[in-house]
Amino acid sequence: MSYHYNHPHTSSDSDDESKDISPQPNNHDLEYQPEQHVFKDITKVEDVDFSGYNFTRDEEKKLVRKLDLHILPFIWAGYLFNSLDRNNLSNAKSDGMTKDLHFPNEGYGIMISINNIPWVLCVIPMVISSRKIGPRWTIPGYMISWGLMVLISAAVKNFAGTLVTRFLLGVFGAGFAPTLIYYLTGWYTRGELAKRVAVFYSCNALSGAFSGLIAYGVFQMNSKLHGWQILFLIEGAFTVAFAILAGIMLPWSIDGASFLGEREKEVAKLRILKDSSGTTESKFDRKTFFAPLKDWRLYVFATIAALYSTAASVAGSFLTQIVGRFGYSVVKTNLYTVAPFIFGTFMMLATAVSSDHFRERGFHLVSAYTLVFIGCVILAATPVSNHAVGYFAVFLMTGGAQTPSFIFHSWHQSNDASEDGRAFKVAFLSTFANSGGFVSANIFLDKWSPGYRIPLIIVACINVTGCLVATSFRLYMAYENRRRNKAQGVNWTSKDVPTEALKAGPKNPLFRYFL
């Protein structure tokens, strides 16, 4: 197959001229002002040519290794603290926090709902902030703010105080994960994104293991403070300290990455133009930012997010209570949550490797829905006295529940080349991905304990619906790609069209869905 992309500033015969295709940086993090890089619309097969992207595979591999080394450890640790601080309520409840603070009947469910309100309502405003002022300020700023809320949570004296601190924690934490995803799309190609998003999303599973281990140690301490107070103090203090370190150490733009040489910076920019979730883009534009609201595909993605989010919330906020069906002590119950969360982490990373290798998202997401469904059905059908089968089902449910987030966000981000569009979508869809907390908080009620049979059946039904919606959408995308290939007489996939040509999305006849 030959391509003929007539790039206005590219000449394959001259090394000096080829440098003109690198976008020029402006003052905004992760953005490039294309003042000397004007693109014409590419809508015909004969216009496409990759010859202008003059870098070798070895150069690319060396660059990606450097990016991984200097970016991923900080992203991973940052989201670990985000997950720890968000999901430690289950551990705190098992240590008697609800009794110590005189929670009313079903007060824990009320607190979970209150905690989730800002995670739904505040995501878009927080991502707008990140888009306008840059992740340089918002990533560490969000961390410091919610870390302080966790510290204050250790000092509250009543139920009302807990509601206030958890609400504010949700406000500051709401935009963190979407901002991290937006940040990563400025560095990695679409075929690399799932593994990198999975690296930090794995913390959502690992945080349960870490929190369980920390709780296991803390709850055995002799102190004037309650164990749950010490847990909050430890996790909040480490969050604030790490936020300061991340603000200093993370690179915030390609040109500002001191660990990259000039040629490596050029290659990094070319990769963004060739096969990335983003393209060169002007400053923040409110009209462009909200444009996806007119696209029906956005609402299909929103439905998929809402359906998988319930299982994720169950694993994050109620796993300790589900494991509590086995009748173990508080200390052992927390300890027995560790292994399922570790299993969920391995499942997440294995799925990420497979998803990027095959450049496929939809069916990988369906596999996670299926795993949760099987786990919930087994738990609902198994007597609480059968510890072995029940504990096995906990592994299945947790493994499936921890996987969808990174696959889902990699999927929709890989199908939008507009900087503002991607920022809006990750924010808008995160509101639905966080909505499951409302469902789980209102079905996992104390009256259903210890078996929680009815709630588990509801979660199973929700995941079956998710399987149907995601499968249908994935098949539609494949059909559209085949239809366009037939009309144009080619056999292209998403990697056969340069990202910079696809800002118009599916309206461009060359667009190919990243399945």
Joined together, the tokens standing for residue 18 give 């080829």
How many Å apart are CA 272 and CA 200, to the nearest integer? 21
- Torsion, Cα 287 293 294 295, to 10 degrees, reads 120
Helix H or strand E segment including 25: strand 24-25
Q: Which residues pair with 24 in a beta bridge?
A: 33
Q: What's the burial of 495, exposed, middle or buried (CB within 10 Å: 0-12/13-18/19+)?
A: middle
CATH number of 286-514: 1.20.1250.20
> What is the pLDDT, as a whole number, of residue 352?
86
pLDDT exceeds 70 at position 36: no
Q: Tens digits of per-residue pLDDT, 54-76? A: 778 888 889 999 999 999 999 98
343-353: average pLDDT = 87
Average pLDDT, integer, range 493-505: 72
Nearest-angstrom CA–CA distance, 100 and 107: 12
Q: What is the pLDDT of residue 3?
A: 35
Q: Letter for the amino acid at 84? A: L
Give the pLDDT of residue 385.
87
Q: How confident is the model at residue 417 (pLDDT cuts 50, 70, 90)?
A: low
430 and 177 Cβ atoms separated by less than 8 Å: yes
In the chain, how long is the greatest CA-to-CA distance? 76
d(CA 510, CA 48): 9
Average pLDDT (245-267) is 89
Any idea which fold 54-274 has? Growth Hormone; Chain: A; (1.20.1250)
Candidates 16, 10, 34; CA nearest to 24 is: 34
- pLDDT tens, 313-334? 887 667 878 888 888 877 788 7
Q: Which residue is it, tokens 């500033």?
A: 9
Task: Please report, for the chain, how many H helices and E strands are present, in that order.
Answer: 23, 2
Q: What is the mean pLDDT of the chain?
A: 81
Every domain of the chain with CATH number 1.20.1250.20 lies at: 54-274, 286-514
What is the reported pLDDT for 47? 55
**pLDDT over 90, % of the chain:** 26
Residue 233 has pLDDT above 70, yes or no: yes
- Pick 316 or 257 by higher pLDDT: 257
Average the pLDDT over each of 13-27, 182-196, 432-446, 472-486 and give the range with the smallest value.
13-27
Question: In whole angstroms, what is the distance from residue 129 CA to residue 125 CA?
Answer: 6
**Who contacts 72 (Cβ-Cβ below 8 Å, separation ≥6)?**
196, 199, 200
**pLDDT value of position 92:** 85
The answer, yes or no, to whether residue 197 has pLDDT greater than 90, is no
Task: Assign 44 a pLDDT band (cuts: 50, 70, 90).
Answer: low
Inter-residue long-range contacts of 384-388, CB under 8 Å, 24+ positions, other chains counted: 384/325, 384/326, 384/327, 384/450, 384/451, 387/326
